[in-house]
Structure 1
Amino acid sequence: MNDFDPEDLERITARAEEMLSRVEELRSEIDMAVGRGAAADGQVRVTVGPSGRLTEVELAPRAMRMDSRRLAEAMLRAAQEAQDDVARKVEAVMAGTLGVGLPDENFGDLLESYETSMEEQLRAIEDRQRDGR
């Protein structure tokens, strides 16, 4: 008995392609996310990328008059604010796309898990075809 329907493969393939396309769009949206933070009345401003890595630090001339400890604290506060900002933006993109918030694991792990799952499903389909089921 052959219970394999070629239309099943077409549906699964179309769905996989659709999901992969959406994952790529999601990755692009996340890659463009930027977080900003400020401290010391705006004298210290920090920008971070989607991973939270610092991409820009701006110090107003008045910030240079601060003692080193106070300046360091302001830089740390601005960086933390920027990281929180980008995390909220990434979570909003994820929630808007997937209908859920960002899990504790990072996006790369999530994408790798998805790709592994898709590979396993495609192998199972190929095995069914080869076995004639």
Structure 2
Amino acid sequence: MPATPALRRYNKRVLISCAAYGFSLVGGISYFNNHPGAHGPTAYLAAVIPALAIIGVFVAVGRYLVEERDEYLRMLMVRQSLVATAFALSLATLWGFLNSFDLAPRIDSYYVAVVWFAGLGVGSCVNALIERRAR
């Protein structure tokens, strides 16, 4: 099946956001390595820009859901996103309780986004399994 115009725009947005994330993360790490203990506005900017790039991926997913005209493809992405959200929130909740009782180490909260992205892969597998059963 050829990619729809909405899917092509989605892929472009995700690639741009991921490239921006990579460059801004390298820049931020470099900044903090060269300015240990920095706390001014530039330090906050260096720390926030990679997060904005990740937020760009979330925006790309949302825009894809709005722009996709094919209802079936939209439903697949909605299901995939719901699985990813349930996966990420479930793991974050479990880890949070384990951490509260000193049974697991503290983890930076941005890993929830990483787990959500992994959950998109789980959601894709769920879609494939459902498709296989429907045949």
TM-score (norm: length of structure 2): 0.32
Larger proportion of strand: 1
Q: TM-score, normalised by structure 1?
A: 0.32
